[in-house]
């Protein structure tokens, strides 16, 4: 693995006796999409606000391209863009004019503006005043602004916030395109674990101010079977039989099938229990670990 573009070591933030961050370490490698996830209050936004220079850490270091963001921020942050919470714009200016102002400040090519407005689906609204934009439109304009000037690293805090399904699809495609065609590295925080699993190469999970897992998604989840989905002629009756025979497998109905936990060693006992109940399986399919299941396990089921 090449050297990290972003490296965080021992990052700590205290608010009085409250430890928002308790010494987290993580690495984001160039050309990847890194998902930073955790329950509400886990410390995600605190870490991102430190990256953005909005608050100062109590201890620890944040380095971008090997340069310490605290002591050499002007030099280190040249290629850094952040979108934290609701993006701010000049409400009396149009979307195009807002991007033009930012492009001048970033010394970026003006021809990028049309490309990015099209990429986030704002062509028709480009010349309307931003003060009349919806939350989702402002969010898409903020993402376009974060990509002006071909940055090295783009930090996005809940980028899908306020977006409808079509806009979410646009943003997903934009992130993948910018990474593939322009080598942009992304660090994104999201509660939409399906998007994280779809978009990201690596993931870091934070819980109670500490990193509880980090690595490439396929390595964390592995390829092993975590259980089986079973269908019978009478799932309710089969469920009662399995709860009695295989309580450790935690049988439960999910949608139109019964789910049981376990690897292939559980299959013989599963088959016997269903035959004894007079309800042989009509179908059996393996269940593999998902990011959602892994996340819940690592965060003890805390969701908010």
Per CATH, domain 4-218 is 3.40.50.620: no
Two tokens at 202? 């690596």
> Is the fold of 4-218 the same as that of 224-288?
no
Task: State the architecture of 224-288 in CATH terms.
Answer: 2-Layer Sandwich (3.30)
Q: Kind of pairing, strands 202-207 and 185-189?
A: unpaired
Q: What contacts 24+ positions apart, CB below 8 Å, involve 15-19?
A: 19/209
Residue 31 confidence (pLDDT): 93
- What is the C-alpha separation between 43 and 206, in angstroms, rounded? 7
pLDDT per residue as tens digits for the range 1-39? 457 899 999 999 999 999 999 999 999 999 999 999 999
Mean pLDDT in order along the chain per 10 residues (304 residues): 84 95 96 95 93 94 93 90 87 96 87 92 96 94 93 93 91 94 94 90 95 91 83 96 95 94 91 95 88 85 53
Q: What is the pLDDT of residue 304?
A: 46
pLDDT of residue 263: 84
Q: Which pLDDT score is estimated for 7?
A: 96
The domain locations on the chain are 4-218, 224-288
In this prediction the pTM is: 0.81
3-state SS, 45-57, equals HHHHHHHCCCCCC
């Amino acid at each position: 693995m090449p050297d990290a573009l972003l490296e965080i070591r021992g990052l700590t933030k205290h608010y009085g006796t409250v430890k928002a961050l308790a010494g987290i370490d993580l690495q984001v490698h160039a050309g990847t999409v890194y998902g930073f996830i955790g329950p509400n209050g886990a410390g995600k936004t605190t870490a991102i606000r430190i990256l953005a220079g909005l608050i100062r850490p109590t201890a620890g270091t944040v380095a971008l391209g090997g340069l310490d963001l605290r002591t050499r921020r002007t030099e280190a942050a040249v290629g850094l863009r952040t979108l934290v919470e609701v993006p701010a714009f000049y409400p009396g200016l149009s979307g195009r004019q807002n991007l033009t102002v930012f492009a001048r400040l970033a010394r970026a090519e003006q021809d990028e503006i049309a490309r990015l407005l099209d990429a986030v689906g704002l062509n028709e609204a480009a010349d309307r005043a931003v003060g009349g934009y919806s939350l989702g439109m402002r969010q898409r304009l903020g993402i376009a602004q974060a990509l002006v000037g071909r940055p090295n690293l783009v930090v996005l805090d809940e980028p899908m916030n306020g977006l409808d399904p079509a806009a979410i699809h646009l943003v997903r495609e934009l992130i993948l395109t910018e990474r593939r065609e322009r080598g942009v590295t992304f660090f994104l925080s999201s509660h939409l674990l399906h998007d994280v699993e779809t978009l990201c190469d690596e993931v870091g999970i934070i819980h109670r101010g500490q990193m509880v897992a980090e690595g490439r998604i396929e390595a964390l989840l592995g390829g092993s079977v975590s259980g089986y989905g079973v269908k019978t002629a009478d799932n309710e009756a089969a469920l009662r039989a399995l709860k009695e025979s295989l309580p450790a497998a935690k049988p439960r109905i999910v949608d139109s099938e019964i789910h049981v936990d376990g690897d292939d060693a559980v299959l013989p006992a599963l088959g016997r229990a269903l035959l004894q109940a007079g309800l042989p399986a009509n179908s059996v399919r393996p269940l593999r670990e998902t990011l959602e299941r892994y996340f819940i396990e690592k965060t003890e089921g805390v969701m908010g």
